Amino acid sequence: MKLETLAIHAGRHPDAATGAVAPSPILSTTFARDADGEYPHGHLYSRSGNPGRTALETLLAALERGATAAAFASGSAASLAVFQALSPGDHVIAPDDVYHGTRTQLRELLARWGLAHSLVDLTDLDAVRAAITPATRLIWAETPSNPLLKICDIAGLAELARTAGATLVVDSTFATPVIQQPLTLGADLVMHSTTKYLGGHSDVLGGALIARDAGDPLFGRIRDLQTKGGAVPSPFDCWLLQRSIATLPLRVRAQTANAQAVAEFLAGHPAVERVHYPGLPGHAGHALARRQMPGGFGAMLSFQVRGDRATALAAVGRVKIFTRATSLGGIESLIEHRASVEGPYSTTPPNLLRVSVGLEHAEDLIADLGQALAPAADRQG
């Protein structure tokens, strides 16, 4: 079944009692037992399961061509569950430009109970191979990465992980299952901040993990953490996500087309030092992205303004259509000075601006960036 069909029908059926085509959120926190103590509908308590969350997890697994999924209250809760499912003394390899929230979890939360980690350039398979130790149990990949849009070889990393007896987890938030499906390339788990493209309207917080194998022992521990830790999405959040995912393929493809146009404009602008977008032929990961991202190059990009931090902040301060805000994947275009968001441990260039391209007309977005960059271009002239 094609992705567009799955996005609408997976996990969704007319209501047996009323015939309603549109699902309704089941808000109950508890469920009735039979006289013999059994649960005839399979649900005990909303922390351990809810009909809407079951439907959402079924949908997520289908979109990623996985076997099972676990939904969480946020992307951070999902990533933390993966790391907490490991043991003290285990070793994790993560990208050297990993999302700053993931880096913070590894450095500030998990190092205290003995989880070791190494930050490596995951675009270099030899560097990853060299970083593997007898204690390595997990390789955490981001592709495209946040915020430099690096592309790493999922199949190559999967082979390294298998050889080491480790698990490969791919944060595919930027790509979505519309663009790439890491499980089909050998990854064991795929992670999404469902707040972003899957929610798509900047109005719901969530996260998810999808497993290639329902019997994966690590995923079993993750499911246990989901239930016992309780960081689960509300029934209404699950309903919002399921409703939004129905239009995911259409939204992402339109946003990707806009992003390509914006990236090409920025690549030729005199005030721009560098554009990070895998859809540009000059991008270091362009050829690899063409192979493993059959759905396109995505709607995220970043660019470096010629000049310093102050020049970049001045440019972002002049936008009129773009909204200056953190997050990504919504219908509206967002722009932010990334280093100032990431804090003192940031490795992001101080002149870099990260852009989430929305569904506005591409010509309007280009015109807005053009006028915002004009003073910097005049100084270059």
- Catalytic annotation, residues: 47, 99, 171, 196
Check residue 298 and report its DSSP letter: -
Tokens of 182: 């890491």
Cα–Cα distance measured from residue 344 to residue 108, given in angstroms and rounded to the nearest whole number: 13
Q: Are 313 and 71 in contact (CB under 8 A)?
A: no
Task: For 192-223, give one letter per residue: b (16+ CB within 10 A) or e.
Answer: bbbbbbbbbebebbbbbbbbbeeebebbebbb
Asked if the bond preceding 147 is cis, omega within 30° of 0, the reply is yes
Q: Among 146, 176, 302, which residue's Cα sits nearest to residue 241?
A: 176
Cα–Cα distance measured from residue 353 to residue 263, given in angstroms and rounded to the nearest whole number: 12
- CA 275 to chain CA centroid, Å, is 21
Q: 137: helix, coil or strand?
A: strand
Instruction: Give me the phi and psi of 250, to 5 degrees please.
Output: -65, -45
3-state secondary structure 308-351: CHHHHHHHHCCCCCCEECCCCCCCCCEEEEHHHHHCCCCCCCCC
Cα–Cα distance measured from residue 79 to residue 169, given in angstroms and rounded to the nearest whole number: 10
Q: Are 152 and 95 in contact (CB under 8 A)?
A: yes
Q: Among 169, 151, 191, which residue's Cα sits nearest to residue 70?
A: 191
DSSP string, 143-201: SS-TTT-----HHHHHHHHHHHT-EEEEE-TTTHHHH--GGGGT-SEEEE-TTTTTT-S
Residue 225 half-sphere exposure, CB side, CA atoms within 13 Å? Answer: 22
